[in-house]
Structure 1
């Protein structure tokens, strides 16, 4: 019975740590770029696009498709950086815990 109470206490402690981790990740921001920095996207830890910067040299009517591709590339770069930061923070929190492969925490 004592082991069960200890386990329940640890579960509540982990739950509180995961809640704190979720909040910390939500506050993360990552900036992705493409086209040598001519397009930049800043994204939150919740994968919300926070800002978009486009170098004015790209505003030519014949370059619209290139600009669209660069925006997508910058967005994907920012998303990848947020995912890497989330993975690192989750690994720090769960160090030593046996978790099933492929389990994504906290989201």
Structure 2
């Protein structure tokens, strides 16, 4: 039993390292989102760090419209980035979890 526990601890440590490596890799996965009319474009990483915002001159003339565009496009981009982030981390965690009956946490 002690050997099994040591093997489990080693597997968990390996999984933790893979999770950290995945988080670093996700800093380089870019998510692009733009408004339907293309007046605002946003790029962020899968770790949800904003890398670029491109605003058309037309939007700069209307503060309220620009604010609405920013909220809408940022929310879409963050949602996409979150989906990518969670899927990647769940895949790593599932791969590293020991096969314990009744512990199907990542289906």
Q: Does 1:99 align with 2:100?
A: no
The runs of 5 or more residues in structure 2 that have no matched partner are 98-103
Superposed CA deviations along residues 26-51 of structure 1, whole A, max 9, x for unmatched, are 22221222242211111123322211
SS in 2 for 1:51: strand
- What's the TM-score once normalised by structure 2's chain length? 0.77
Matches within 5 A, 1:1-107: 1-60=2-61, 63-95=62-94, 97=97, 98-99=104-105
The runs of 5 or more residues in structure 1 that have no matched partner are 101-107
Query: Over aligned residues, Cα RMSD in angstroms?
Result: 2.1
- What's the TM-score once normalised by structure 1's chain length? 0.77
